[in-house]
Amino acid sequence: MQRIGVFVCWCGSNIAGTVDVQAVSDALKNEPGVVFSANYQYMCSQAGQNLIKEAIAEHRLTGIVVCSCSPRMHEATFRKTAAAAGINPYMVEIANIREQCSWVHKDMLTGTEKAIILGKAAVAKVNLNTPLTPGESPVTKRALVIGGGIAGIQTALDIADAGFPVDIVETKPTIGGKMAQLDKTFPTLDCAACILTPKMVDVAQNENIRIFSYSEVTAVKGFVGNFDVTIKKKARYVNEDVCTGCGACVEKCPMKKVPNEFNLNMDNRTAIYIPFAQAVPKVATIDPMHCNMLKNGKCGVCSKVCAAGAIDYKQQDQYIEEKYGAIVVATGFNPISMDKFDEYAYNQSKDVITSLEFERLTNAAGPTAGKLLRPSDHKHPHTIVFVQCVGSRCSACAEKGKEYCSKICCMYTAKHAMLTRDKYPDTEVYVFYIDVRTPGKNFDEFYRRAVEEYGVHYIKGMVGKVSPEGDKLKVQASDLLNNKQLHIDADLVVLAAAIEPDKSARPLATMLTASMDTNDFFTEAHPKLRPVESPTAGVFLSGACQGPKDIPETVSQASAAASKVISLLVKDKLTGNPCVASSDELMCNGCSSCERVCPYGAITYVDKEFRMPNRTIAIRRVAQVNPAVCQGCGACTVACPSGAMDLKGFANNQIVAEVDAICK
């Protein structure tokens, strides 16, 4: 029989205002098992906690019930109090008589009645509580960062800086991501490459960081602290360890008409290629779709010119198995396809481009060596129209576009407009906007400068259609503030396309059992208070995979994710939650129902020997729960047809006892 103490909190007038706390403590005194009952103004205060500790010692209590606020608020506090006084922290139950009682009732009589009932339920549960001890699991002190853009780079550098080994897995042949394609960065106009490439070099030189480029994650097993990950290193037909990145092969490759994806197909590359001069790792890759040698065995020029002998046409995909303690997702974003936006004539005219294409057109390492030239005829454009919100802020029921604001477009469009006017004062630059959204340090000042100092025409309204006529683009737009329809003969139209998560994110989320929203952005554990953690323990989020973000925000989040990873990896052991499922092997019928419903993969089946009557032995298939993986959701306890599966701390008999106490 338990010896239970009941402690009723007034919470100032929060509870005592609508609940007669004295009546509650008096009523609960007579419940079975209760040997002590008291009430106090602030139970969570030092004095209140001392009252609990003294009562535990004086009345030799084995369990306590605190009638107070929600357990989310102070369950941990009172568990610590109990532990300090020498009783198991899982012998504490909280009856929530604030959020679920005093705050929702106005009448003292009903409030008090309900508080007593909630207290009785908690007492009934404590009578069946058993002391629980959390399990421990070891931590593999290595982190995996999936994605090698600026988010992944920053996260990896920070984790490595704390002394832990990190692996970056990047699907492209080089790290660098979208930032490597940008020209300048707002609002300071630093050259993107100038600030990114030193970081890429740091990554390459850091002893704690390994880069798996041209690779992808194909399987993830395990749980926080103990992930088993399979990485597929795609065959690049070049021996990475031998290639010096000299570029002789690239120079001599006869297949020179391959669309160059790094320049968004606005120029060509060779079949063997290094994406850009500062690529990390600076190693050539053969594109098997276009290489003559790989397609029909006729060529082999690169192999002949390679002084290092790095070319290996027989290279195969390689699978690497590695263990990690933590996984950071940094899969980033892409601009959406413009195929559905026929009104802007993107597919009809080469001179209608997206903003990312504009970045390449103004980048010194881009297809035009930094000169702004029309893609169609390589002439200098004089009238340039920027269209914002293309595919952003669309209705959820619209056939095309995204419902959210892509967040970065207002600023990069202001940057493009400003830089165009700065470099080419003979241009007329129009920006059509719905709203200009520039919250951020020095952001609005930046946009105003584009208008006031650089004379960019900002027009409140949208472009309705773009029609190519001769060498002009007829732009028909609205000017809402002047209630006019404008007709502009433009030379170049730039579309600020909405951004969306990378397509690899969804299958990755499935592998990680990490949750996503309807737009395929990863969901954070708490939108305000745990923004860089996924709800799945041990999985962290960095950069635009969680939502649209600019570079400063991405870098801050990347460092935040790294600090969360570090605080996980410094631990030698992880203390689990003891409220996990466990199976009664004698009752288990081996049906696999629990295994099928478990969202965490915590349940496995084993064949086990059981002693039977007359010294016989039977082998039966029974469920076993891995307590380190189990999150205590209880799905298996509901699915189990034989009643073998039960949740510690929330056992079926405890729940039934609570219900009985309430209905009595």
At residue 539, what is the residue type?
V
476 is a contact residue toward other proteins (CB under 8 A): yes
Nearest distance, CB of residue 479 and other proteins, angstroms: 8
485 is a contact residue toward other proteins (CB under 8 A): yes
CB within 8 A of 321, min separation 6: which ones?
Answer: 228, 229, 230, 231
> Mask: binding to other proteins, 324-363, rule CB under 8 A, as x and -?
-------------------x--------------------
292 is a contact residue toward other proteins (CB under 8 A): no
Nearest distance, CB of residue 44 and other proteins, angstroms: 45
48 is a contact residue toward other proteins (CB under 8 A): no
Say if CB 296 and CB 200 are below 8 A apart: no
| Piece of 155-163, 202-210, 411-419, 463-471 that binds other proteins (CB under 8 A) | 463-471
| Piece of 149-157, 184-192, 286-294, 477-485 that binds other proteins (CB under 8 A) | 477-485
Nearest distance, CB of residue 527 and other proteins, angstroms: 23
User: Which of 210, 393, 472, 571: binder of other proteins (CB under 8 A)?
Assistant: 393
656 is a contact residue toward other proteins (CB under 8 A): no
460 is a contact residue toward other proteins (CB under 8 A): yes
In 3-state terms, the chain is what percent helix, strand and coil (to 5)?
A: 30, 25, 40
| Helix ranges (DSSP H) in 162-258 | 192-205, 248-252
Written as six digits, the tokens of 503 are 């397509």
519 is a contact residue toward other proteins (CB under 8 A): no
395 is a contact residue toward other proteins (CB under 8 A): yes
What is the C-alpha separation between 542 and 560, in angstroms, rounded?
8
| Piece of 193-201, 238-246, 353-361, 472-480 that binds other proteins (CB under 8 A) | 472-480
Place of tokens 């990190």: 166
Say if CB 393 and CB 499 are below 8 A apart: no
| Piece of 46-54, 192-200, 448-456, 473-481 that binds other proteins (CB under 8 A) | 473-481
Is 397 or 586 the residue whose CB approaches other proteins more closely? Answer: 397
What is the C-alpha separation between 401 and 341, in angstroms, rounded?
9
In eight-state DSSP terms, residue 461 is S
477 is a contact residue toward other proteins (CB under 8 A): yes
| Piece of 19-27, 480-488, 500-508, 635-643 that binds other proteins (CB under 8 A) | 480-488
At residue 143, what is the residue type?
A
Written as six digits, the tokens of 133 are 């001890």
Nearest distance, CB of residue 393 and other proteins, angstroms: 6
480 is a contact residue toward other proteins (CB under 8 A): yes
In eight-state DSSP terms, residue 377 is T
Burial environment of residue 254 by CB neighbours within 10 A (0 to 12, 13 to 18, 19 or more): exposed
Is 342 or 422 the residue whose CB approaches other proteins more closely? Answer: 342
321 is a contact residue toward other proteins (CB under 8 A): no
Is 461 or 547 the residue whose CB approaches other proteins more closely? Answer: 461
598 is a contact residue toward other proteins (CB under 8 A): no
User: Which of 109, 194, 201, 398: binder of other proteins (CB under 8 A)?
Assistant: 398
Written as six digits, the tokens of 311 are 């070319």
Is 281 or 461 the residue whose CB approaches other proteins more closely? Answer: 461
Say if CB 105 and CB 18 are below 8 A apart: yes
Q: Is the preceding peptide bond at 187 cis, omega within 30 degrees of 0?
A: yes
DSSP-derived 3-state class of residue 420: helix
Written as six digits, the tokens of 551 are 């570079």
User: Which of 179, 238, 389, 545: binder of other proteins (CB under 8 A)?
Assistant: 389
CA 484 vs. chain centroid, Å, equals 44
CB within 8 A of 452, min separation 6: which ones?
Answer: none
Is 205 or 395 the residue whose CB approaches other proteins more closely? Answer: 395
Say if CB 40 and CB 48 are below 8 A apart: yes
Nearest distance, CB of residue 430 and other proteins, angstroms: 13
Nearest distance, CB of residue 396 and other proteins, angstroms: 9
At residue 69, what is the residue type?
C
478 is a contact residue toward other proteins (CB under 8 A): yes
User: Which of 246, 434, 639, 655: binder of other proteins (CB under 8 A)?
Assistant: 434
User: Which of 17, 33, 165, 464: binder of other proteins (CB under 8 A)?
Assistant: 464
At residue 48, what is the residue type?
G
Written as six digits, the tokens of 378 are 């390589």
Is 140 or 478 the residue whose CB approaches other proteins more closely? Answer: 478
**What is the per-residue burial (b if ≥16 Cβ within 10 Å, else e) of 326-336?**
bbbbbbbbebb
DSSP-derived 3-state class of residue 126: helix
User: Which of 369, 397, 617, 619: binder of other proteins (CB under 8 A)?
Assistant: 397
Is 395 or 614 the residue whose CB approaches other proteins more closely? Answer: 395
Written as six digits, the tokens of 233 are 């290193």
Cα-only R_g, the chain? 32
Residues touching other proteins: how many (CB under 8 A)? Answer: 21
Nearest distance, CB of residue 340 and other proteins, angstroms: 11
465 is a contact residue toward other proteins (CB under 8 A): yes
Nearest distance, CB of residue 506 and other proteins, angstroms: 24
Nearest distance, CB of residue 345 and other proteins, angstroms: 13
100 is a contact residue toward other proteins (CB under 8 A): no
Is 403 or 428 the residue whose CB approaches other proteins more closely? Answer: 403
462 is a contact residue toward other proteins (CB under 8 A): yes
Say if CB 280 and CB 174 are below 8 A apart: yes
| Piece of 241-249, 332-340, 470-478, 626-634 that binds other proteins (CB under 8 A) | 470-478
Burial environment of residue 81 by CB neighbours within 10 A (0 to 12, 13 to 18, 19 or more): buried
Listing DSSP states for 379-409 in one string gives PPPSEEEEEEEESSS--TTSSSS-SS--SSH
305 is a contact residue toward other proteins (CB under 8 A): no
At residue 13, what is the residue type?
S
In eight-state DSSP terms, residue 98 is I
Written as six digits, the tokens of 471 are 């060498």
Nearest distance, CB of residue 399 and other proteins, angstroms: 9
- Residue 620 CB neighbour total at 10 angstroms: 15
Give the footprint of other proteins on this chain (CB under 8 A): 343, 389, 393-395, 397-398, 401, 434, 460-465, 476-478, 480, 483, 485
